[in-house]
């Protein structure tokens, strides 16, 4: 079984009054959910989604089908929740799977929260944002730099709670000892570039890195809630 060390931190930021982010750090599952801005009770949506994922994390070894089923159930739970209307949430994360071929890692994503990987000197985003500006970038209409300040940069095209059919992306990766994963809401990437994130992610242990990243996002403006999970693969 793959082992992990992890750290996590979250902040409401300097502008918003409520933290609509929720997160889960319960090996074999790590996840960040960002309640959709502009929707009623986004904090309820993210908490509902994380609650479903937590139940699956506690139920035993995970498979690809189990994680996808958990996301589908989380979607239906958000839609069916009576505490608020028009609520939704992103969800992204990392799951450790037990397969006939051995351990694997599953990265999954719905929305514009992100998963990054730092492997030796290679650092990059693993997930693809489900957002209007990402579609414009892929179409060549704007550059990634322009996407950071585009007026529609906060419009997501997929989220839990927005449709009865959830369409998560997922990828399978080998669990390589020494790899460090960053799971974050867009409060981090909205304030810091990848070049600014990298040295903070490298510095210190998992908890120190998570706290440093959240503090840097707040210092850079803190316009949104920010949640960060840092996970190291041990072996």
Mean pLDDT of 152-162: 84
- Strand order of the β-sheet with 21-26 is 21-26, 29-35, 89-99, 102-110, 169-173
Q: Which CATH homologous superfamily contains domain 4-233? A: PPM-type phosphatase domain (3.60.40.10)
Mean pLDDT of the chain: 92
- The yes-or-no verdict on residue 37 having pLDDT over 70 is no
Q: For residue range 49-84, list pLDDT tens digits in order.
A: 999 999 999 998 999 999 999 999 999 999 988 675
The number of beta carbons lying within 10 Å of the beta carbon of residue 176 is 13
Q: For residue range 166-225, list pLDDT tens digits in order.
A: 999 999 999 999 999 999 999 999 999 999 999 999 999 999 999 999 999 999 999 999
Mean pLDDT of 114-139: 88
Q: For residue range 108-123, list pLDDT tens digits in order.
A: 999 999 999 999 889 9
CA distances from 21 to 46, 66, 208 (A): 6, 23, 20
- The yes-or-no verdict on residue 137 having pLDDT over 70 is no
Which pLDDT band, with edges at 50, 70 and 90, does 132 fall under?
confident
**Could you give the angle at the alpha carbon of 76 between the alpha carbons of 70 and 81, nearest 5°?**
120
Backbone angles phi, psi at 192, to 5 degrees: -120, 140
* Percentage of residues in the chain having pLDDT higher than 70: 94
d(CA 89, CA 36): 5
| Predicted local distance difference test score (pLDDT) of residue 115 | 98
Which tokens sit at 155?
């419009």
């Amino acid at each position: 079984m793959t082992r992990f060390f992890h750290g996590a931190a979250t902040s409401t930021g300097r502008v918003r009054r409520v933290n609509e982010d929720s997160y889960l750090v319960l090996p074999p599952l790590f996840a960040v959910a960002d309640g959709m801005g502009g929707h009623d009770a986004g904090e309820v949506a993210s908490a509902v989604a994380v609650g479903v994922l937590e139940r699956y994390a506690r139920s035993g070894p995970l498979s690809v089908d189990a994680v996808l089923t958990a996301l589908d159930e989380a979607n239906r739970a958000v839609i069916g929740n009576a505490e608020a209307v028009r609520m939704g949430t992103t969800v992204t994360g990392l799951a450790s799977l037990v397969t006939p071929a051995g351990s694997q890692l599953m990265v999954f994503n719905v929305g514009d929260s992100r998963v990054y990987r730092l492997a030796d000197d290679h650092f990059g985003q693993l997930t693809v944002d489900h957002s209007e500006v990402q579609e414009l970038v892929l179409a060549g209409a704007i550059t990634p730099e322009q996407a950071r300040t585009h007026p529609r940069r906060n419009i997501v095209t997929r989220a839990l709670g927005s449709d009865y059919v959830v369409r998560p992306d997922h990828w399978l990766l080998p669990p390589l000892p020494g790899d460090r994963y960053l799971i974050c809401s867009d409060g981090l990437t909205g304030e810091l570039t990848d070049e600014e994130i990298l040295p903070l992610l490298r510095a210190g242990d998992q908890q120190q890195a998570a706290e440093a990243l959240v503090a840097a996002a707040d210092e850079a403006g803190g316009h949104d809630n920010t949640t960060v999970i840092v996970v190291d693969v041990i072996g």
